[in-house]
Amino acid sequence: MARALVVYESMFGNTRAVAEAVAQGLAGFDVEVVEVSQAPDTLPDEVELLVVGAPTHAFSLSRPGTRASAAEQTTGPLVSPGRGVREWLDVLSHNANRTVATAFDTRVKVGILPGSAAKVIAKRLRKLGFPLTTPPRTFWVTGTTGPLRERQRDEAVEWARGITAGSRR
């Protein structure tokens, strides 16, 4: 069975929930879902599909300062308090085995705001040699700390089913 790796960064649990829904939709794959601090810096050879997700912070990927700001907005611990997707992509090895990839983000839907962590992830994955299977995708949250907007989990499952159809090497 083909193997997929879903790597996510999440502050309040919303991006983690989308990552878990994506894994559910990846039929035909042996899927592992990993929080970014536990993600390997070199992908195992058997990984055929890499899906990377993160919240959009200040119109892009989080930084130490934006993660510190997120920590101030909650009384509980952050899901991803340490290394973020930005730092992981900085050390991720170049794609030697032609793993295909795609990206998603979570964002607050307030008017028309520029910036997308998913687009930044996709650009960085392409630079590392990962062919993209689908355009980056945004899933919406109701506010900074969430929760996800209605039907976003279902939409993540459906989006992942589309990835499965076009991702085989």
Q: Is the pLDDT of residue 93 over 70?
A: yes
Q: How far apart, in whole angstroms, are the C-alpha atoms of residue 107 and residue 165?
A: 26
Looking at residue 63, what is its pLDDT?
A: 77
The SS3 assignment for 164 reads: helix
Which of 56, 142, 43, 141 shows the shortest CA–CA distance to 95?
Answer: 43
> What letter does residue 141 receive in the DSSP assignment?
E
* pLDDT per residue as tens digits for the range 94-129: 998 889 999 999 999 776 667 899 999 999 999 999
* pLDDT per residue as tens digits for the range 125-145: 999 999 999 999 999 999 889
Q: Where are the domains of the chain?
A: 2-166
Q: How far apart, in whole angstroms, are the C-alpha atoms of residue 52 and residue 127?
A: 15
Q: How far apart, in whole angstroms, are the C-alpha atoms of residue 33 and residue 52?
A: 10
Looking at residue 113, what is its pLDDT?
A: 66
Q: What pTM did the predictor assign?
A: 0.93
Residue 124, CA distances (Å) to 59, 71, 89, 144 in order: 15, 26, 7, 25
> What letter does residue 51 receive in the DSSP assignment?
E
Q: Which pLDDT band, with edges at 50, 70 and 90, does 70 fall under?
A: confident
Residues in the chain, overall count: 169
Looking at residue 111, what is its pLDDT?
A: 64
Looking at residue 167, what is its pLDDT?
A: 59
Q: How far apart, in whole angstroms, are the C-alpha atoms of residue 17 and residue 80?
A: 13
The second-level CATH assignment, the architecture, of 2-166 is 3-Layer(aba) Sandwich (3.40)
* pLDDT per residue as tens digits for the range 30-49: 999 999 999 999 999 999 99
